[in-house]
Amino acid sequence: MIDLRIEAWQAWAPGVETPADWATWAATPHAIVDAGEQPACEFVPPMQRRRLSRMARIVMHAAWPLCSDDEQLPFVFASRHGETTRTFAMLDEIRRDAPLSPTQFGLSVHNAIAGQWSILRGQRGESVAIAGEADTFEHAIVEAATLLDEGAPAVIAVIAEERPAPAYDGWIDDVPFSYTLALRLSRANGGPGWRLSLAENRGAVAPSDVPHALRFVRALHDGASLDHPWKTRRWTWQPIA
C-alpha cells in the first residue's frame, strides 16, 4: 500500500491540452483523433529542440512546468512501447540497406528521453526509465514511491505513449492515440492524497478504448476510486482525506 500526494499534474493528447480541455474530456471521455499534432516546446533552445522526437516533445511539454529551475528532483519515465516511430524508421533503413544513423539509434533507446530531460534541465539526480505491461503506469508509481522513501522531497513521474505506425496494427492495440501524463508526487504524510494498493486479480480484464493513465486523469477530476486489473494483478486507487 502506497500513500502519495499529487502536488501537480499535467497531461497532453492531440487537441486536449489545457486544464479546461481535460475537465471537459473527463466529464465525457472519448477516443481522440490523432493527426500527428505535437507541442511546440518553445522553451527548449532550437538546436536541442531539433533532436526531440514527437514523443520526447509531449513528455517535455507535460513535465517541464512541474519542476522549477532551481530544483533537483528524481525523474521516472515510463512507457510500455517506447520510441516506436524512431525504431520503425530504422527498421525501414535496414530493409532498404541504408546506413543507420548513430544519432537516431542513440535517441531510440528506452532511457533516451530521461537522458534528454536531465541534459535540458541540468538535472543531476536519479533518472529511471521503465517498461512494463498494461500496468506500466502503476509500476512507475511504485518506482516513484521508492525514490520518495529514499529521501527525495518530490519525484516527477511521466508515462507516455505514441501512436505507432500502421505496420504495428494487430500487434500494438493499446495506444489508440498519443498521450502523456506527468505527475509531481510527494509523500502524503497523513494528509489528503491517493492510496495505491495491490491485490490478486481473479476476474476477467475488460478492454478499454481509453488508456489507463487517462482513466486516472478522470479519477483526479471526479475523486472516485479506480480499479485496474491486469493478468494476476489488481491495482486499486483510492482518494484519501
Taking only the tens place, the pLDDT of each residue in 54-66 is 999 999 999 999 9
**C-alpha to C-alpha distance for 165 and 34, rounded to whole angstroms:** 12
The per-residue pLDDT for 97 is: 86
> Is residue 101 predicted with pLDDT exceeding 90?
no
The per-residue pLDDT for 114 is: 95
Q: Contact 166/153 with Cβ under 8 angstroms? A: no
The per-residue pLDDT for 12 is: 98
> Is residue 206 predicted with pLDDT exceeding 80?
no
**C-alpha to C-alpha distance for 222 and 239, rounded to whole angstroms:** 10
Q: Contact 157/139 with Cβ under 8 angstroms? A: no
**C-alpha to C-alpha distance for 208 and 198, rounded to whole angstroms:** 20
The per-residue pLDDT for 31 is: 82
Torsion (CA) 145, 150, 155, 157 in degrees, nearest 10: -50
**C-alpha to C-alpha distance for 129 and 239, rounded to whole angstroms:** 27
pLDDT band at 190 (very low <50, low <70, confident <90, very high): confident
The rounded mean pLDDT for the chain is: 93
pTM for the model stands at 0.93
Q: Contact 205/227 with Cβ under 8 angstroms? A: no
CATH at residue 122: 3.40.47.10
> Is residue 111 predicted with pLDDT exceeding 80?
yes
Q: Which residues pair with 10 in a beta bridge?
A: 182
Q: How far is CA 60 from the centre of its chain?
A: 11
The per-residue pLDDT for 197 is: 97
The pLDDT tens digits of the residues spanning 34-53 come to 999 999 999 999 999 999 99
Number of domains the chain contains: 1
The per-residue pLDDT for 67 is: 95
> Is residue 103 predicted with pLDDT exceeding 90?
no
| Domain coverage including residue 193 | 2-240
> Is residue 90 predicted with pLDDT exceeding 90?
no
Q: Which of 218, 223, 185, 239 is nearest to 63 (CA)?
A: 185
The pLDDT tens digits of the residues spanning 156-184 come to 999 999 999 999 998 998 999 999 999 99
Q: Which of 172, 15, 174, 179 is nearest to 87 (CA)?
A: 172
> Is residue 205 predicted with pLDDT exceeding 80?
no
3-state secondary structure of 240: strand
The per-residue pLDDT for 46 is: 92
Write the CA distances from 46 to 36, 41, 42, 50, 122, integer angstroms: 20, 9, 8, 6, 17
Q: Contact 124/178 with Cβ under 8 angstroms? A: no
